[in-house]
Amino acid sequence: MKPRVLILRMRDVSLLDSTGIRALCDVIARSRKDRTLVLISEVQAQPAIALERSGLKEELGPENLVMTLEDAVDLARCYLEVRTPTPLPASKERPS
């Protein structure tokens, strides 16, 4: 089962270069494919600028970049409470 929310806590990331941006883009693309919400918390100054300049902040949605881990957890809880799960396809019954 895939997670419904992924929180990336970036408090220890002081530098984000083009390789890091590309890696984040890959994670976000795979997460979207799996219908997983990506939240990024505790972004330092230089990585925040890199996210802005690369367009990744806008692509991710500025509302999904939050100041603290607690904010990210609160946002994740709200998302999980509101989101209606996708129903599983009807399975064929096995003969007895």
- 1 pLDDT band, cuts 50/70/90, is confident
Q: Check pLDDT > 90 for residue 5.
A: yes
Of the candidates 63, 47, 35, the one whose C-alpha atom is nearest the C-alpha of residue 10 is: 47
Over residues 27-86, the pLDDT tens digits come to 999 999 999 999 999 999 999 999 999 999 999 999 999 999 999 999 999 999 886 555
CATH class given for the domain over 5-82? alpha beta
pTM of the model: 0.81
Give CA–CA dist 85/71, Å, rounded: 23
Q: Where are the domains of the chain?
A: 5-82
32-47 residues labelled b (16+ CB within 10 A) or e (exposed): eeeeebbbbbbbeeeb
- The mean pLDDT value for 9-18 works out to 97
